[in-house]
Structure formats: C-alpha cells, structure tokens
Amino acid sequence: MATHEGARPQKLTWLGDSQTILTCGFSKLSEREYAVWDNRNIATPIIKRRLDDYSGVPYVYFDEDNKVVFVAGKGESAVSYFQYSKETPNMIDFLGAFKGKEPQKGLSFMPKKCNDLMQNETNKAVRLTAKTVEYISFKVPRKSGTFQADLFPPTRSQEPAMKFDDYINGQNLEPIRFELRPDIQADAS
C-alpha cells in the first residue's frame, strides 16, 4: 500500500466505528496531505487531498464521539480541527484552529471525563512547548449556561467490555460506554 509519496514521516488514526483510517503525510512537493482508507480494501485511498499550508510532522487525534479530527504539527504553534463525515465531498472539513505563541514539541488529549461540561468543552489537550506545558480547551460556543447534552454523546469507558481470555477465545463485544453529565462528574469527584 503506497500512502503518501513524500519522504517525511507519516501518521495515522483509526476513525472510530466507520471502518476507515485517516493518514497524514506529505506529497512529492512536500505539501501536507491526508488520505482516508477503507480498512477492508487498502489498495487505494477513498480520497487523498491537500490538508493545509503547514509543514510540521503531524500529530493526529480523532474524537470518535463528535467526529472531529485534530492535527497539530511538531514545530508549529497551531492545532487545526476538522469535521469528519463520509457524506461530504472532502470527508474532512475545516472547523477552526487554536494558535499558540510557542511552537509545540508534543500534544496529547485528556480523557473526556476531564472536560468542563458546563462550559461546553468537548475536548481538552495538553501541549508541550520548549518553555511550558499548557492546557488547550476546545469549546463549542453556546449562549446558554446550562449543560448541552447534544454535545456529549455516550463515550467509551475505561472499563474493559470483556476479559482477555474471552477475547482470545473469539468473543467480540462492543465497548462499554457511559454518559457524560455534570451530576455524574460531581459525584465522582
């Protein structure tokens, strides 16, 4: 399977329950690009397009609950985010970008239970720069100061759905999911 023709490093992420994989890499002209692949037939991508104007090696994260792809490049100060949908022509469409002051050396997303639900925070990341470790908050702007349940579908639990022996013996279960609600978070603290 030939992914991206450029010589620079490539990254990939599983796109949840959609049977697809997203890769980020570089073209022969060193333009950052993405491709979406059907994991049942990886001979050719479903789509391959130019991603953005950045040149850093990408870190890629997929929020399965809200179908958002986050891309941050090493040495860049931005984190771009895109809506994923099989129904749109590009499959990923630009939503926005966080722009920091310092270039990042690393980025990791926190578990959903760490989000501030009352502030409509759908994702929270930790960003490493040469001088700091900082939190980045991704929020959906809403006027209401109340909990917005439509932003928080059931999310994967950290509790396993089965034992290792069951898996080895061929059992296959859906992941355990739990509701994100402020009253549950308050009880858990």
**Is the pTM higher than 0.85?**
yes
- 105 backbone dihedrals φ, ψ, rounded to 5°: -105, -20
Q: Helix, strand, or coil here: 101?
A: coil
According to DSSP, the residues that pair with 127 across neighbouring strands are 107, 134
- Residue 17 CB contacts under 8 Å (≥ 6 apart), including other chains: 64
Contact criterion met (CB below 8 Å) for 120 and 148: yes
d(CA 181, CA 152): 8
Per-residue pLDDT of the chain (189 residues; tens, 9 = 90+): 678 998 899 999 999 888 999 999 999 998 999 999 999 999 999 999 999 888 899 999 999 999 999 999 999 999 999 999 998 989 999 999 999 999 999 999 999 989 999 999 999 999 999 999 999 999 998 887 788 889 999 999 889 999 999 999 999 999 999 998 887 655 554
